[in-house]
Amino acid sequence: MSNLKVFVLMAGLTALFIAIGGAIGGQTGMILALVLAGAMNFFMYWASASMVLRAYGARVVTAAEAPDLYAMVNRLRERAGLPMPTIAIAPHEQPNAFATGRDPNHAVVCVTSGILRLMPAEELEGVLAHELAHIKNHDMLLQTIAATMAAAISNLANFAFFFGGRNDDEGGSPYAGLLMAIVAPIAAMLIQFAISRQREFRADAVGAEISQRPLELANALTRLDAYARRIPMHVSPAVAPLAQVNPLAAYQGGLSRLFSTHPATGERVARLRALVSGAPSRA
């Protein structure tokens, strides 16, 4: 059910991208928008990992530099049936982690220096299993594409705002572009965030299977969320959805769930605890 929801959301994001292209330039605009989306996604397919690591200021480390971390990831990735990912450490005091890369053979698992210092080993194992679940589910590329599409929609909307939409001679309303300029970026952002929330729920469930420690992962999420509210992280909002908990929580107040890049931690914890109790959980 979760995968179906994401498919529908991605289809909506693509349709919105094409629609705003049409509002700006008619059929030609729709074709150009589609070509632009394809070109951006092709570029992100190859460059996403290096771009995300730069955004977090992360550095790839060797097994000699982080032997305990390597050993833990290696044990979990064998259990998940995955190739060994590249390991990186980001120099942030806030405990957090993320995965990136175009596919399981070119994946990166990155943790912050803060999580290595502040997270108990059994909970860190749950965190790493969650990130390996993202790799197994191909979530990193999906979320990168969603973010790229949303950004492109916003850029097209800005163009429409300053230059307007089609004129009457082209068979369209001159105000269509202006209307799309207002509506499209908000809709794209809501869809992107909804995709991110769905993939976090799925990664929690699969991560619990990999680590065989659903309660430890639940405790880790609670701990990460608390630290994120106390220890700020200076990172671009564009890459914030990739982190295990929202790294910008310290800068945000009571935001609506619709505008959240991550599900409520309490709901994630409840779903993980339901796995242990055998209670039904929504997909």
Q: Which amino acids are annotated catalytic?
A: 131
**Which residues make beta-bridge pairs with 86?**
108
Instruction: Give every CB contact of residue 233 below 8 A, 6+ residues apart in sequence.
Output: 92, 93, 94, 96, 112, 247, 248, 250
- Specify whether the CB–CB gap between 160 and 181 falls below 8 A: yes
Task: Report residue 177 as tokens.
Answer: 């572009």
Question: How far apart are the C-alpha atoms of 23 and 177, rounded to whole Å?
Answer: 5
Count the alpha carbons within 13 Å of 176 in the hemisphere toward its beta carbon.
18
- Specify whether the CB–CB gap between 230 and 93 falls below 8 A: no
